């Protein structure tokens, strides 16, 4: 199983080579980003480990370029540990984010989980998710009426889990365990950032429709959604007064959990 690692630090690159080959992976180690897109297209690796601090290219731009052409799992490496750096990496298409220095066992655990999830995923037909919201597994999109929004692999898994647990409170620990397959104490900030990004994407399905509520200090609850026309028709039938949409997000709710 081929893994491509783009790491300019020779010592860390050697460690990755030793650790991954010992675990049975074939590692292609690159010291810069010059040939990454071509190699990903030609070799179709199982995963990409990408240091964002490259000498020749903007690591985030490279991540976006790879993600635009491929759905392979991407682990971003960086010396930067601020939450804004995590947000930028995830928005560029990374599936996970590791701050250097890190223990090789943590990197291996995250790599295994991403590769395992990618291998288990199979294209699924579009299916009704909850109310008028549908998940298109083949295109990895959320659909509401005539509107569609593309999701990353992790966002799609996250929304699928919310659908299965619809109208029930789920904690960050639940999401780490079931979506990321990670320990409960491992990086809850990753959960908060990814949920925030998913909420922003779902908001594109309708200007006043919000499907995930954040309960500060508790967790999250997925309430489902209904397109504007259907919401108006059903509300009119029930009350005689049309409304624009169902489940608008209360402005006082914060993203912090």
pLDDT per position as a tens digit, 163-175: 888 889 999 999 9
Q: Looking at the domain assignment, is residue 246 inside a domain?
A: no
Residues 142 and 171 in one domain: yes
Confidence of residue 209 (pLDDT cuts 50, 70, 90): low
**What's residue 39's pLDDT?**
96
Residue 240 confidence class, pLDDT cut points 50, 70, 90: very low
In the predicted model, what is the mean pLDDT of residues 44-65?
Answer: 96
Q: At residue 127, does pLDDT exceed 60?
A: no
Q: Are residues 176 and 86 in the same domain?
A: no
Contact assessment for residue 198 and residue 214, using Cβ atoms and an 8 Å cutoff: no
Q: CA angle, corner 194, sides to 59 and 140, nearest 5?
A: 90
Specify the pLDDT at position 81.
86
For the chain, what is the mean pLDDT?
A: 81
Residues 132 and 151 in one domain: yes
Confidence check: pLDDT of 35 > 50: yes
Structure tokens at 162: 């919310």
Query: Residue 237 has what pLDDT?
Result: 35
Task: For residue 219, give the CATH number of its domain.
Answer: 1.10.10.10
Q: Is residue 61 part of a domain?
A: yes
**Which range (52-66, 121-135, 174-188, 222-236) has the least confidence?**
222-236
Pairing of β 74-78 and β 96-99: parallel
Q: Are residues 135 and 229 in the same domain?
A: yes
Res 249: pLDDT: 30
- Across residues 63-90, what is the average pLDDT? 93
- Report if residue 101 sits inside a domain: yes
Q: Do 188 and 226 belong to one domain?
A: yes
pLDDT of 180 strictly over 60: yes
The residue among 95, 120, 145 that closes a domain is: 120
Residue 100 neighbours by CB distance under 10 Å: 14
Answer whether residue 62 shows pLDDT above 50.
yes
* Domain that includes residue 72, residue range: 2-120
Phi, psi dihedrals of residue 160, rounded to the nearest 5°: -60, -40
**Cβ neighbours for 206, distance < 8 A, ≥ 6 positions apart:** 144, 147, 225, 227, 228, 245
- Residue-level pLDDT at 184: 60
Closest CA to 89 of 66, 64, 117: 64
Q: How far apart are CA 123 and CA 137, in angstroms?
A: 6
Within a 10 A sphere around the Cβ of 43, how many other Cβ atoms?
A: 12
User: Domain count of the chain?
Assistant: 2
């Amino acid at each position: 199983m081929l893994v491509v690692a783009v790491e300019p630090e020779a010592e860390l690159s050697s460690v990755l080579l030793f650790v991954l080959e010992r675990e049975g992976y074939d590692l292609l180690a690159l010291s810069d980003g010059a040939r990454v897109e071509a190699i990903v297209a030609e070799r179709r690796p199982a995963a990409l480990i990408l240091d964002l601090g490259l000498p020749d290219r903007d690591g985030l731009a490279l991540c976006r370029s790879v993600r635009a052409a491929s759905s392979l799992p991407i682990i971003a490496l960086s010396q930067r540990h601020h939450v804004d750096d995590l947000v930028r990496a995830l928005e560029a298409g990374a599936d996970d984010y590791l701050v250097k220095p890190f223990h090789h066992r943590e990197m291996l655990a995250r790599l295994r989980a991403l590769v395992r999830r990618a291998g288990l995923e199979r294209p699924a037909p579009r299916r009704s998710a909850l109310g008028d919201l549908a998940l298109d597994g083949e295109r990895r999109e959320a659909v509401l009426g005539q509107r569609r929004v593309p999701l990353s692999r992790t966002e799609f898994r996250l929304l699928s889990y919310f659908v299965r647990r619809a109208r029930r409170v789920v904690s960050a620990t639940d999401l780490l365990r079931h979506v990321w397959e990670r320990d409960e104490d491992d990086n809850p900030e990753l959960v908060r950032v990814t949920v925030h990004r998913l909420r922003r994407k779902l908001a594109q399905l309708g200007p006043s429709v919000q499907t995930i509520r954040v309960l500060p200090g508790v967790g999250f609850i997925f309430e489902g959604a209904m397109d504007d026309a259907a919401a108006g028709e059903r509300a009119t039938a029930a009350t005689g007064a049309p409304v624009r949409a169902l489940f608008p997000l209360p402005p006082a709710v914060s993203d912090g959990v």
